[in-house]
Amino acid sequence: MAFDLPETTYAVLGLLDKRPASGYDLAAFADRSLGYFWPISRTLVYRELARLESLGWVGSEPVPQDRLPDKRVWSTTEDGRGALASWLAQPAVAGGADRNGFLVKFFFGARMSQEAMRTLLDDYRESLEATRADLAALIEHLARIPDARMGRLSARHGLLTAEARLGWIDEVTAELAAPSHPRTSDTDPDGAFAADRHAVSVRTRQRFGHR
């Protein structure tokens, strides 16, 4: 029953399967749950709701509100629940690395001043510490909700990831503070990196029986 659709489509479907919600509430729910590892903008939530409705996987009912326009509350249909079950039964597709603006700049850090690099690392650390604090509070909150075990464990994954990245920052800071070694080759380091990455990719494919 599942179609070749973006993972986000099924993510929105899965959130609605947990509980009916208006578009506004669904976007807020996505932000405080999946948002830590699969960000979905409010605009994208509404776009996916339209797609899911056209597929017949979700429906909506108007709900009157005092002193506010009626809102539409969305819920999954039987076909939608079947599509979700079919998608969940399929092997997970390995995703690429997160889009990380910090690493894009860090990769070219050899052209940055020490002050600029220190600021870059400090800002990244501050962001990660805020994420770690948010996730720790979320885990504590979800621990008191019996039906939230999977959400709590997902948040735990995010917490450990943030802590690992903070450890990496400590390692980088220590290495950058150490005396630098002169280059022993005129080889373009970025070119060497690309060549090494290609070699590793070939070995990995061969290791797992791919060509």
Tell me, what amino acid is at 26? L
pLDDT values of the chain reduced to their tens digit, one per residue, 211 residues? 556 898 899 999 999 998 999 999 999 999 988 887 788 999 999 999 999 999 999 999 998 888 888 889 999 999 999 999 888 888 766 555 556 778 868 877 888 888 889 999 999 999 999 999 999 999 999 999 989 999 999 999 999 999 999 999 999 999 999 887 655 444 444 544 444 555 545 544 444 444 4
Which stretches within 33-100 are classed as H helix? 42-55, 78-89
Contact (CB, 8 A) for 72 and 82: no
Query: How buried is residue 162: exposed, middle or buried, by Cβ count under 10 Å (0-12/13-18/19+)?
Result: buried
21-22 and 58-65: which strand pairing?
A: unpaired
Residue 10 CB-half CA count within 13 A: 17
Question: In this predicted structure, what is the pLDDT of residue 204?
Answer: 45
Question: In this predicted structure, what is the pLDDT of residue 3?
Answer: 65
Secondary structure letter of residue 75 according to DSSP: E
CA-wise closest residue to 141 among 162, 155, 120, 125: 155
Cα end-to-end distance, the chain, whole Å: 31
Question: In this predicted structure, what is the pLDDT of residue 178?
Answer: 87
List of residues 6+ apart from 109 with CB closer than 8 A: 117, 120
Rounded to two decimals, the pTM is 0.68
